Amino acid sequence: MQDDAEARRAARADWPIRRLRLLDEPPADPTTAAQRLAMMWELVVQAWAIAGLPIHDLARDQWPIRVRRLGDPDS
């Protein structure tokens, strides 16, 4: 188990790290919103695959949500 932790630590050793002060602005992100969404979708697909679960393809009107409007008594 300690060997696993050491292997993970060694794999992270060359990750790029930026140290910023609390109020410093981070550098501009060169990616577009569409590119960031594409990267996020890839993470979602990998996470569901690791979990061994299918990704459900529901139409928007079938999403398991409840809409609550401001001012409704149940809100």
Q: How confident is the model at residue 47 (pLDDT cuts 50, 70, 90)?
A: very high
Q: How confident is the model at residue 63 (pLDDT cuts 50, 70, 90)?
A: confident
Q: Are 75 and 69 in contact (CB under 8 A)?
A: yes
Q: Are 55 and 47 in contact (CB under 8 A)?
A: no
Q: How far apart are CA 33 and CA 40, in angstroms?
A: 10
Question: Does this model's pTM top 0.75?
Answer: no
Q: Where are the domains of the chain?
A: 31-55
CA distance readout (Å), 52 to 48, 55, 59, 75:
6, 10, 22, 36
Q: Per-residue pLDDT tens for 17-26?
A: 888 888 888 7
Q: How far apart are CA 18 and CA 13, in angstroms?
A: 14
